[in-house]
Amino acid sequence: MALINENYLKLPGSYLFSEIAKRVEAYKAANPDADIIKLGIGDVTKPLPEAVITSMHKAVDEMADEKTFRGYGPEPGYNFLIEKIIEFDFGTRGVSLDMDEIFVSDGSKSDTANFQEIFGVDNKIAVTDPVYPVYIDSNVMAGRSGTLGADGKWTNLIYMPCTAENGFVPELPIEKADLIYLCFPNNPTGTTISKTELKKWVDYAKANQAIILYDAAYEAYIQEEDVAHSIYEIEGAKEVAIEFRSFSKNAGFTGTRCSYTVVPKEVMGYTAAGEAIDINKLWNRRHATKFNGVPYIIQKGAEAVYSKEGQKQIKALVDYYMFNAKLIREGIQSTGIEVFGGVNAPYIWLKTPKGMDSWSFFDKVLNDVNIVGTPGAGFGPSGEGYFRLTAFASRESTEEAIKRFTTKFKL
């Protein structure tokens, strides 16, 4: 008899974005003529940059020729890409990393979900609330969550509320946390924290022998000074932090799949007997065992992101989406709805008006103006009463959405 991992049975019916897609499909079936604008899932809409496409075409030709064909690549990624990552993403910010501290992968979703595997089941997990659901669901699957309470919280997890009341800045937990998930610029709130605030987390982790799992997938969207692009800009972070980076949101790789994870060799975990173990070695073992590397063609595309043209083209992409963010922020604000985020991130987090709950607001917006957003409650209990809009749609759709909000949407 094949016994299942019963932790899976604890999970809510479907992943948040699948649930939203289901509801939208049902609405479409009932209203086939509705012109629906999707500002829900944070998926990019502009094509891959020219430099990336050119490089990938060349790589395809190499794969067609016996002399340049490649089979399995190195599991952690090709040196040509890792060298560029180290030079451009870290060297320029005064952070030095070794080649074997970078692991190229197929996405920050998979890496943030999988990284917990190398830690014991009894670790205490801390998450910000609201939060990207993958961090929680992957720990539920692993058996670390306890049970889901009526308050929408898992009994064994530490929740750090991020709401308008605390400026969306999490407070250090009172209960001792072993693994801490942080995401800045934040998904879903679209807000971020200063270097001074981030330093408190690094100090906390050092004092508690904890590890920070730092998701920096939206790093390219940072506009303001005093916001760290990498957690390693903070003194001491290389001893306590793992950083996740992605090509999805800066270079349009959501469907192409390429990301990387930084695991400095100073980061230690411990055996029950108290022996310090190099986390880099464990992740390397896990990565090499379960993953055969990102395709050569895709890594060649990612490499081109760092070329002179590539850098210019990804800046133009980010500027494009950030202008959408400004349109949404200002447009929604003009209706009297309170708006947050959208300054250092492509997400706008708004307070649902008149005390309406997130899912009712989702239904109302879909029904009244045919716009899809994401209900804040889907990201955790502290997301209740909020609603997320993404700036990743086309300019035309964004402008049309704002026109509908400002002219047709009535509360």
The annotation places the binding site for pyridoxal 5'-phosphate at: 72, 108-109, 132, 187, 218, 246-248, 257, 292
| 109 lies in the site for ligand MLT, by CB under 6 A | yes
Q: What is the 3-state secondary structure (H, E, C) of the chain?
A: CCCCCHHHHHCCCCCHHHHHHHHHHHHHHHCCCCCCEECCCCCCCCCCCHHHHHHHHHHHHHHCCCCCCCCCCCCCCCHHHHHHHHHHHHHHHCCCCCHHHEEEECCHHHHHHHHHHHCCCCCCEEEEECCCHHHHHHHHHHCCCCCECCCCCECCCEEEECCHHHCCCCCCCCCCCCEEEEECCCCCCCCCCCHHHHHHHHHHHHHHCCEEEEECCCHHHCCCCCCCCCHHHCCCHHHCEEEEEECHHHHCCCCCCCEEEECCCCCEEECCCCCEEEHHHHHHHHHHHHCCCCCHHHHHHHHHCCCHHHHHHHHHHHHHHHHHHHHHHHHHHCCCCCEEECCCCCEEEEECHHHCCHHHHHHHHHHHHCEECEEHHHHCHHHCCEEEEECCCCHHHHHHHHHHHHHCCCC
Q: By C-beta, is 76 or 346 nearer to ligand MLT?
A: 346
Task: With contacts defined by CB under 6 A, name the span among 38-46, 47-55, 326-334, 358-366 that binds ligand MLT.
Answer: 38-46
> Hey, which residues between 236 and 255 contact ligand MLT (CB under 6 A)?
none
User: Contact, 44 vs 392, CB < 8 A?
Assistant: yes
User: Contact, 297 vs 372, CB < 8 A?
Assistant: no
> Least distance to ligand MLT from the beta carbon of 128, Å?
14
User: Contact, 106 vs 301, CB < 8 A?
Assistant: no
> Least distance to ligand MLT from the beta carbon of 104, Å?
18
Q: By C-beta, is 184 or 204 nearer to ligand MLT?
A: 184
Write out the two tokens for 323: 């202008």
Q: Which residues are annotated as a binding site for substrate?
A: 15, 42, 109, 132, 187, 292, 388
Task: With contacts defined by CB under 6 A, name the span among 41-49, 78-86, 275-283, 295-303 that binds ligand MLT.
Answer: 41-49
Place of tokens 């009994």: 155
Indicate which single residue of 116, 163, 186, 187 sits in contact with ligand MLT (rule: CB under 6 A).
187
Task: With contacts defined by CB under 6 A, name the span among 39-47, 48-56, 57-65, 72-80 that binds ligand MLT.
Answer: 39-47
> Least distance to ligand MLT from the beta carbon of 204, Å?
26
Q: By C-beta, is 11 or 63 nearer to ligand MLT?
A: 11
Site string for ligand MLT, 131-170 (x = CB under 6 A): -x--------------------------------------
| 376 lies in the site for ligand MLT, by CB under 6 A | no
Q: By C-beta, is 21 or 41 nearer to ligand MLT?
A: 41
Place of tokens 């695991």: 263
Place of tokens 């948040």: 16
> Least distance to ligand MLT from the beta carbon of 245, Å?
13
> Hey, which residues between 43 and 62 contact ligand MLT (CB under 6 A)?
43
Q: By C-beta, is 114 or 123 nearer to ligand MLT?
A: 114
| 257 lies in the site for ligand MLT, by CB under 6 A | no
Q: Which residues are annotated as a binding site?
A: 15, 42, 72, 108-109, 132, 187, 218, 246-248, 257, 292, 388
Indicate which single residue of 38, 42, 304, 328 sits in contact with ligand MLT (rule: CB under 6 A).
42
> Least distance to ligand MLT from the beta carbon of 220, Å?
14
- Parallel, antiparallel, or unpaired for β 125-129 and 386-390? unpaired
Burial 17-33 (b: 16+ CB within 10 A, else e): eeebbebbeebeeeeee
Size of the residue set binding ligand MLT (CB under 6 A): 6
> Least distance to ligand MLT from the beta carbon of 345, Å?
11
> Hey, which residues between 264 and 283 contact ligand MLT (CB under 6 A)?
none
Task: With contacts defined by CB under 6 A, name the span among 4-12, 36-44, 143-151, 160-168 that binds ligand MLT.
Answer: 36-44
Task: With contacts defined by CB under 6 A, name the span among 35-43, 48-56, 98-106, 357-365 that binds ligand MLT.
Answer: 35-43
| 41 lies in the site for ligand MLT, by CB under 6 A | yes
Q: Which residues bind ligand MLT (CB under 6 A)?
A: 41-43, 109, 132, 187
